[in-house]
Copies of this chain bind each other. A is one copy, B any other.
Amino acid sequence: MTVSLLKQKLGIIGGGQLGKMMILEAKKMGFYVIILDPTLNCPAHSIADEHIIANFNDTIAIRKLADRADIITYEFEHINVEILKTLEEEGHKIYPTPKSLEIIQNKYEQKMLLKKKRIPVPEFIYISHEEDMKEAGEQFGYPFILKSCRGGYDGKGNMVVHSPGEIKTAFESLGGCEQELMAEEFVPFTKEISVLACRGIDGEIIVYPVGENEHEDNILIQTKVPAQITKALTTKAMSLANRVMKVFEGVGMFCVEMFVTEDKRILINEVAPRPHNSGHYSIEGCVTSQFEQHIRAISGLPLGDTTLIRPTVMRNILGDGEGSGEAFVYGAEEALRIPGAKLHVYGKEIVAPKRKMGHLTVTAETLEEALERAESAANAIKISTRKES
């Protein structure tokens, strides 16, 4: 019998909704949690034991976090990896490892490694100058996608290039020669799916059921689980997620986003080295949520059962309306009247159009029922600035 690992202090870079949901699980098990986030009233603030208020690129503050915490993790991937590498060399525990983070941060490096390991990805090339984009057009046809190699999320940093005439504008609007860019074939997918996977410090890998995602304006709107794909594709997707985890040797939760093509191939779209929006369904849907799993993995505890308990649908609640300002929730009563509906309000003080303010999850006996109920709940609830009443 070993002394528990629960006495360890966890440090989280980022106090947004992902940090908050990690902490809710960590506190359940009795961990002490320190966050680093520039916003005083960030979603995780009120439930963290300590809050270091500092910018994410503040190396002194990150060092302070490392000195106070036994294990460091993060809720987003756009972190200065150099400071994390230095801290790791000095003996600090950082999960997922800076090495895996560094590769994933750069979408080109990420895809190169996947390709090298024979994991199917869309075709892509590196873009050094505008001329390379013509080559991309010739190679992939139109449209194709131009992407910043670093820093994009929710469609930011991506542009669809429909014709040679759009090359110049696209190149310049993504930063041209100043930024690392890549071009990628446009995949006419039939479905977007994602698979959560987790790797323990001891190398154990566990994979979740396949979720099926719907986006609007490049922002995730809905995840339904199980994905409505064939059993063969489900098995293939889960096996690919397992292989991806082996490639990155990551510790902690990862999310592997994939395209299913018309000819039933699966291509890896992107890998996130952290709990992911498309995995929120696991809080109510699975025996072990992605957040509990992440805490278990980085703290050296055994990984938990990923069984889907009931069909589950997750809907994002995005900031509604035109303006930004103090956030108010409307219609929570109506939404919560729907059987099996669970409401997560992140507690962001300021709402802006399309900002991720919360999500709701519905579990039910059948996926059809869950979908209907999630639709009703999503229609009922709005988060916006105060409305005239």
A139 within 8 A of B: no
CB pair A27–B1 under 8 Å, yes or no, is no
Interfacial residues, chain A to chain B (CB-CB below 8 A): 1-7, 20, 24, 27-30, 32-33, 46-49, 284, 287-288, 292, 296, 300-302, 304-305, 307, 309-310, 328-334, 336-337, 339-347, 358, 363, 380, 382, 389
Contacts A1-B382, A309-B309, A328-B3 given: A345-B287 contact, CB under 8 Å? no
Q: Which residues of B contact A341 (CB under 8 A)?
A: 304
Cα–Cα, bound, A333→B8 (Å): 14
A285 smallest CB distance to B (angstroms): 10
Contacts A49-B46, A309-B310, A343-B29 given: A331-B1 contact, CB under 8 Å? yes
CB pair B340–A30 under 8 Å, yes or no, is no
A204 smallest CB distance to B (angstroms): 10
Cα–Cα, bound, A372→B1 (Å): 20
CB pair A4–B347 under 8 Å, yes or no, is no
A154 smallest CB distance to B (angstroms): 22
A28 smallest CB distance to B (angstroms): 6
Q: Which residues of B contact A334 (CB under 8 A)?
A: 1-2
Query: Which among A5, A46, A309 has the highest number of chain B CB atoms within 10 Å?
Result: A46
Instruction: List 18 contacting pairs A-B, 8 Å CB cutoff, sorted by A.
Output: A4-B330, A4-B331, A4-B333, A5-B332, A24-B27, A24-B28, A27-B46, A29-B343, A29-B345, A30-B358, A33-B46, A288-B342, A300-B333, A301-B336, A302-B333, A304-B336, A309-B309, A309-B310
Q: Which residues of B contact A345 (CB under 8 A)?
A: 6, 28-30
Cα–Cα, bound, A389→B33 (Å): 27
Q: Which residues of B contact A7 (CB under 8 A)?
A: 328-329
Q: Which residue of B lies closest to A331 (CB)?
A: B1
A362 smallest CB distance to B (angstroms): 10
CB pair A287–B363 under 8 Å, yes or no, is yes
Cα–Cα, bound, A74→B219 (Å): 41
